[in-house]
Amino acid sequence: MALISFRDLRKFRLFVLGLRRCYLARFRGLVMDPTATISLSSRVVTGPGPSIVVGEKTLIAFKTLLVARRPDGSVSPIRIGARCFIGGGAAIMPGVTIGDGCVIGAGAMVTEDVPARCVAAGVPARVIEREINVVDYGRFDYADWIEYQLTGKVGPGKGRPFDPETAPRPKKPLNIPLRR
C-alpha cells in the first residue's frame, strides 16, 4: 500500500478549489478574479445576478461569511477590492464596499464601507490603521523585513529578491525581539 504524498494532496485541493470557484460563479453569483482565493470553509449568501465581486490577488480566509442578501430578501452587492485579506471568521454584511489594499481582522463584522489601504477589526469593524502598504493577498510590505529580523532569512518562493538594507520597515516600533 503506497502512501499519498503531500504533493498529491495539494493537487487534489487545488482541483476541489477550482470546482468550488466554478460552482460559486455559476450558481451563487460570486464574481472573482482568477488570482483571488477563497477558503473551502467560507460561506456565501447571495441573490440573483453578480452580487459579490472580489478583486485581484485577494485572500478570503477560513470560515468567512459573505452575506449579500438582506433579511427582507433584497440584495445589496458586496465589493471587495484588489490585494485585500479577509481574516478567518470575519463576516461581511450586505452593501459593504472594501477598498483596495485592506486588511480585515479575524472575527470582524464589517457593517460599513472600509476605505482603501486600511486595517479594520472588531465587532462592529472599525478602522484601526490608515494608509497601510500591502502587496499581494494583503501581506504587509514590511513582512519580509520582520521575517529576516526574527529568523535571519526570508522564506523560499517569495519570487522577489530581498535586501535588508533597502527593504520597507514598519512605521511604528514593534514589540518583538529583533536581530542586532
The verdict on residue 36 lying in a domain is yes
Verify that 78 and 165 share a domain, yes or no.
no
Verify that 125 and 41 share a domain, yes or no.
yes
CA dist 152 to 15, 142, 149, 157, 174, Å?
A: 35, 15, 6, 16, 17
The verdict on residue 80 lying in a domain is yes
The verdict on residue 127 lying in a domain is yes
The verdict on residue 62 lying in a domain is yes
pLDDT of residue 141: 82
Sign of CA dihedral 123, 126, 129, 131: positive
Conformation bin of residue 136: beta by default, left when phi > 0, alpha when psi is -120 to 50: beta
Verify that 47 and 79 share a domain, yes or no.
yes
**What range defines the domain where residue 79 resides?**
30-140
pLDDT of residue 150: 75
Q: Residue 129: which of 141, 139, 116 has the closest Cα?
A: 116
Q: Residue 148: which of 176, 178, 126, 125 has the closest Cα?
A: 178
Q: Please answer whether residues 66 and 43 qualify as being in contact, where contact means their C-beta atoms are separated by less than 8 angstroms.
A: yes
Q: What number of H helices and E strands is found in the chain?
A: 2, 14
Q: Residue 109: which of 130, 87, 128 has the closest Cα?
A: 87
What is the Cα–Cα distance from 89 to 28, expressed in whole angstroms?
20
Verify that 95 and 173 share a domain, yes or no.
no
pLDDT of residue 162: 64
The verdict on residue 23 lying in a domain is no
* Spans of the chain below 70 pLDDT: 1-2, 4-7, 154-164, 172-180
The verdict on residue 158 lying in a domain is yes
Verify that 34 and 76 share a domain, yes or no.
yes
Verify that 125 and 92 share a domain, yes or no.
yes
The verdict on residue 100 lying in a domain is yes
pLDDT of residue 120: 95
Verify that 135 and 151 share a domain, yes or no.
no
Verify that 135 and 149 share a domain, yes or no.
no
Verify that 51 and 133 share a domain, yes or no.
yes
pLDDT of residue 57: 94
pLDDT of residue 60: 95
pLDDT of residue 12: 86
